[in-house]
């Protein structure tokens, strides 16, 4: 590095405060140019992003003292960018109206600033001749770029040292730290020797979990939810897992677990949990519309800390079919109570009650449903649920009035690897359910199985999305199963373009009911038009059979259409137009409006 550099201590003192407030003035800002010899556009962008002068000119700062202070600070800031890119013999010049800033006396006062030139010449890029860190924990993986012959940069050195320290922390030594360094840049050979030494520190075990920041949630419950085993070997992953558990409870807006300053004489290190509680109550509402099903409205009220132990009480309800042509008005109200970390830190207890009225094209039904069970989180991507429940159903359909007293054992597994729940571009989602059940008034063993699989792949700017739905009811005959546990096809959730539940099983005498098996297929191509507007082309197909195995003695129908998406912070607003391409009424067009992608 070569440039004139007289003492600038007095000027730095004078301008220290000015650096913090680059405020726009009334006069025209100076002309600023950045000239780079060597490097590439990315390096030039990085220099502009780091420059306080660039910020000052964007903010139209004209005060000469403020401009001079920004220029003075830019030497160190821009050199850091050049060093991080591996240019250790770069030449940097910053001139104000032809004068090198480093040569301007701190006692000089500029009347005005008209032209500023930043000129950087990168020189050759340096490579590592020596790249060593010692000692290293056994499983440590250093960055691939930290090796002899690879481009040298300060950023790569920092990443390598950080990885080495984290390796020791992962090995149970929370106080590992850098202990020394030797960095030599040989300008003749354009090579860098970089050698670092570490102090691994002592092995430690988890000590006491100390909770701070809580107001209403009891500290004991926070400790239970965190599930941090006292006496277990220290591990950053244990801390991260406990943070995720606390966030998942929904009772906290922020969570941070850090280790104490010292390891005690017994080799234990206390952990500090700093939490900030979320507002305990929350309300929400939503709406959707489709041509045949009309408007659907829903709302909920949530309490996140019902009994000071992060228990959740959710009351929700909905009305569907307002202004629709398929059936009448459906409505439901449900209450769910859940308690995190009941049987283990990753196992929640749940109790749910629901009252439901359905007025569908093929049947009317009134339900009272109660379930109690557990939800277990296997990982960030996989969770399962198992419950026992009872439901009483009153049914009125083409086969007359009937009642059911169902005892059930519903179970579910969900594997979610989508990058975005409401607008996925990569990954997949799989949800499988199994529910053995029987009617206690006429016991006949039965089981209901469902699967919903979705996959997403970006090809350039286009997102390809696919969905497969499968359902089956095995055991009893059609008349021995409540109709809402059978399968229909048609409408926004299955085959767009067809009437809601348009495809069913036809029975003698013109009567119809749901099928014992279902297969649904959907494909979408999602294409951006602008940053906020996108288009979608899609096709759906559905199959219903009176047999328990899909593909046997059934019937298909299909639809296709186009849609628009408008991006919002809560997910894309969805508008779809679809028409039947197999089955249904030719020329019929259905409109669907909602929030989030169709799947």
Q: Collect the ranges in the chain with pLDDT lower than 70.
A: 1-28
Q: Which two tokens stand for residue 599?
A: 């799947």
Are the beta carbons of 105 and 133 closer than 8 angstroms? Answer: no
Q: What is the pLDDT of residue 27?
A: 54
CATH topology of domain 127-199: Ubiquitin-like (UB roll) (3.10.20)
Per-residue pLDDT of 351-367, as tens digits, reads 999 999 999 888 999 99
Q: What is the pLDDT of residue 91?
A: 95
Tell me the C-alpha distance between 67 and 23, whole Å. 10
Are the beta carbons of 104 and 82 closer than 8 angstroms? Answer: no
Sign, CA torsion 304/307/311/317 = negative
Tell me the C-alpha distance between 409 and 232, whole Å. 37
Give the global pTM.
0.80
CATH topology of domain 281-595: Porin (2.40.160)
Torsion of CA 372, 376, 377, 383, to 10 degrees: -70
Chain Cα centroid distance, residue 206: 30
Q: Which two tokens stand for residue 261?
A: 């300053």
Q: Which two tokens stand for residue 588?
A: 């019929």
* Fold match, 127-199 / 205-277: yes
Tell me the C-alpha distance between 599 and 428, whole Å. 11
Degrees, nearest 5: CA angle 315-319-324: 165
Which residues are CB-contacts of 320 (< 8 A; sequence separation ≥ 6)? 293, 294, 295, 296, 297, 329, 330, 331
Backbone angles phi, psi at 597, to 5 degrees: -65, 165
Are the beta carbons of 206 and 234 closer than 8 angstroms? Answer: yes
Per-domain residue ranges of the chain: 9-121, 127-199, 205-277, 281-595
Q: What is the pLDDT of residue 325?
A: 81
Strand 127-134, strand 191-199: pairing: parallel
Sign, CA torsion 245/250/256/258 = negative
Strand 115-121, strand 31-37: pairing: parallel
DSSP label at residue 30: P
Tell me the C-alpha distance between 30 and 124, whole Å. 32
CATH architecture type of domain 205-277: Roll (3.10)
């Amino acid at each position: 590095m070569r440039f004139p550099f007289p003492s600038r201590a007095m000027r730095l003192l004078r301008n220290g405060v000015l650096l913090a407030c680059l405020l726009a003035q009334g006069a025209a800002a100076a002309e600023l140019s950045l000239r780079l010899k060597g490097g590439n556009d990315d390096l030039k962008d990085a220099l502009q992003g780091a420059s306080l002068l660039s910020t000052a000119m964007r903010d139209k700062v004209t005060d000469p003292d403020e401009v001079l202070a920004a220029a003075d600070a830019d030497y160190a800031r821009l050199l850091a960018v050049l060093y991080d890119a591996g240019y250790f013999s770069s030449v940097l010049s910053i001139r104000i109206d032809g004068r090198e800033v480093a040569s301007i006396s701190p006692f000089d006062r500029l009347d005005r600033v008209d032209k500023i030139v930043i000129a950087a010449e990168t020189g050759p890029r340096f490579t590592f001749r020596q790249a060593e860190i010692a000692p290293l924990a056994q499983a440590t993986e250093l960055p691939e770029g930290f090796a002899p012959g690879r481009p040298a940069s300060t950023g790569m050195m920092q990443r390598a040292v950080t990885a080495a320290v984290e390796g020791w922390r992962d090995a149970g030594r929370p106080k590992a730290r850098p202990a020394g360094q030797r960095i030599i840049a040989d300008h003749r050979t354009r090579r860098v020797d970089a050698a670092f030494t570490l102090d691994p520190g002592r092995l430690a075990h988890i000590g006491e979990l100390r909770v701070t920041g809580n107001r209403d949630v009891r500290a004991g419950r926070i400790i239970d939810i965190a599930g941090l085993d006292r006496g277990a070997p220290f591990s950053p992953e244990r801390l991260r897992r406990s943070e995720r558990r606390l966030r998942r409870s929904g009772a906290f807006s922020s969570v941070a677990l850090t280790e104490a300053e010292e390891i005690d004489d017994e080799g234990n290190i206390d952990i500090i949990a700093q939490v900030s509680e979320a507002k305990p109550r929350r309300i929400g509402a939503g709406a959707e519309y489709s041509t045949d099903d009309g408007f659907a409205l829903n709302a909920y009220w949530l309490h996140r800390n019902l009994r000071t132990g992060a228990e959740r009480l959710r009351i929700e309800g909905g009305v569907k079919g307002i202004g629709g042509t398929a059936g009448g008005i459906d409505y439901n109200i449900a209450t769910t109570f859940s308690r995190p970390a009941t049987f283990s830190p990753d196992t929640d207890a749940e109790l749910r009650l629901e009252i439901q009225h359905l007025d569908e094209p093929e049947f009317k039904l009134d339900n009272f449903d109660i379930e109690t069970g557990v939800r277990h989180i296997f990982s960030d991507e996989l969770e399962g649920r198992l419950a026992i429940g009872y439901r009483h159903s009153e049914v009125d359909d083409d086969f007359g009035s009937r009642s059911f007293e169902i005892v059930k054992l519903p179970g579910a597994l969900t594997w979610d690897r989508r990058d975005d729940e409401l607008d996925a571009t990569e990954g997949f989602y799989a949800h499988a359910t199994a529910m053995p059940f029987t009617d206690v008034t006429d016991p006949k063993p039965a089981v209901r199985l469902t699967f919903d699989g979705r996959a997403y792949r970006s090809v350039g700017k286009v997102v390809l999305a696919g969905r497969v739905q499968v359902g089956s009811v095995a055991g009893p005959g059609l008349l021995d199963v409540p109709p809402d546990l059978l399968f229909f096809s048609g409408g926004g959730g299955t085959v767009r373009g067809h009437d809601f539940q348009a495809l069913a099983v036809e029975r003698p005498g013109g009567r119809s009911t749901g099928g014992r098996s279902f297969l649904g297929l959907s494909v979408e191509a999602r294409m951006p038009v602008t940053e906020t507007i996108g288009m979608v082309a899609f096709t759906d197909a559905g199959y219903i059979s009176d047999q328990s195995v899909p593909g046997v003695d059934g019937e298909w129908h299909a639809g296709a259409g186009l849609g628009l998406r408008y991006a919002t912070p809560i997910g894309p607003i969805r508008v779809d137009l679809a028409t039947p391409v197999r089955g249904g009424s030719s020329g019929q067009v259905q409109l669907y409006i909602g929030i989030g992608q169709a799947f």
